A = this chain, B = another copy of it.
Amino acid sequence: MPRTALLAIVIVPGDRRSIAGQIVDAIRRKISATELAVGDQLPSVRGLAQQLAVNPNTVSKAYAELVSGSWLVSRAGMGLYVAAQRDPLSDGERNRRLDAAVDRFVNEVVAIRANPDEAVERVGEALGELGLRQSA
């Protein structure tokens, strides 16, 4: 049932990512974890900007990126809604990118001399919170 979502997002000032990037990541995660359901309406640009105490343009930029990535859809004059999840990436492309991401992660784990088992465990926990969803 469509509803208007309240977004619990925390902006970290010292983060390497841009503020818009942090908003994008947070919303993508919430959609992936079905914390935001298909059809849910998102807060208005001005509303979210005020809530997060950031510039409305920043929120607008984040929303635009999510729309272009098919995470959100815009209904003219009615606001933004979580889009139905069809996948814009081909299997091959997704596989390639996943490989690259895994490779990057392994490099980081090695670089900090972290325990491999613990690293796997933490990834499992973090991804487990997303539940079991799409593209199985």
Which residues of A are interface residues toward B (Cβ below 8 A)?
14, 25, 28-29, 32, 65, 68-69, 84-94, 96-99, 101-120, 122-124, 126-128, 130-136
Task: Point out the residues of chain B lying under 8 angstroms from A68, CB to CB.
Answer: 65, 68-69
Question: A113 CA to B95 CA in the complex, in Å?
Answer: 10
Task: Point out the residues of chain B lying under 8 angstroms from A118, CB to CB.
Answer: 98
| B123 in contact with A105 (CB, 8 Å) | yes
Task: Point out the residues of chain B lying under 8 angstroms from A89, CB to CB.
Answer: 88-90, 112-113
Number of identical protomers: 4
Question: A113 CA to B90 CA in the complex, in Å?
Answer: 11
| A112 in contact with B94 (CB, 8 Å) | yes
Task: Point out the residues of chain B lying under 8 angstroms from A117, CB to CB.
Answer: 127, 132, 136
| A91 in contact with B90 (CB, 8 Å) | yes
| A119 in contact with B113 (CB, 8 Å) | no
Question: A134 CA to B111 CA in the complex, in Å?
Answer: 12
Which one, B86, B103, B136, contacts A93 given CB within 8 A? Answer: B86
Which one, B29, B98, B106, contacts A114 given CB within 8 A? Answer: B98
| A102 in contact with B122 (CB, 8 Å) | yes
